[in-house]
């Protein structure tokens, strides 16, 4: 059975992945698309996909934070 510290360390890694490289790259991608001359329709499509990815990533980050809290307090 996995001990509490190992489980929390694993969840910390998940949180790190979501909050640092994923969010960072998505925001950079969003800025590049917004400052490009891409056709408006394609831009709209990109915007929709990127916003979905950002929204899910924020949700994942909250989910990992909640799991850490639950394991710590459980």
- Can you tell me the distance from the alpha carbon of 21 to that of 35, in angstroms, rounded to the nearest whole number? 21
CA neighbours within 13 Å on the CB side: how many for 17?
9
Task: Work out how close the CB of 27 gets to other proteins at its nearest, in angstroms, rounded to a whole number.
Answer: 6
Task: Work out how close the CB of 40 gets to other proteins at its nearest, in angstroms, rounded to a whole number.
Answer: 12
CA neighbours within 13 Å on the CB side: how many for 29?
15
x/- map, 40-69, other proteins, by CB under 8 A: --x--xx--xx-xxx-x-x-xxxxxx-xxx
- Can you tell me the distance from the alpha carbon of 54 to that of 24, in angstroms, rounded to the nearest whole number? 10
Contacts of other proteins in 6-35 (CB under 8 A): 6-29, 31-33, 35
Provide the 3-class DSSP secondary structure of residue 54.
Answer: helix
- Which spans of this chain sit near other proteins (rule: CB under 8 A)? 1-2, 5-29, 31-33, 35-39, 42, 45-46, 49-50, 52-54, 56, 58, 60-65, 67-72
């Amino acid at each position: 059975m996995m001990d509490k510290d190992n489980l929390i360390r694993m969840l910390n890694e998940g949180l790190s992945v979501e909050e640092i490289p994923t969010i960072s790259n998505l925001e950079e991608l969003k800025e590049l698309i917004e400052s490009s001359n891409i056709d408006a329709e394609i831009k709209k499509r990109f915007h929709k996909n990127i916003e979905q990815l950002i929204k899910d990533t924020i949700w994942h980050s909250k989910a990992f934070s909640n799991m850490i809290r639950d394991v710590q307090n459980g």
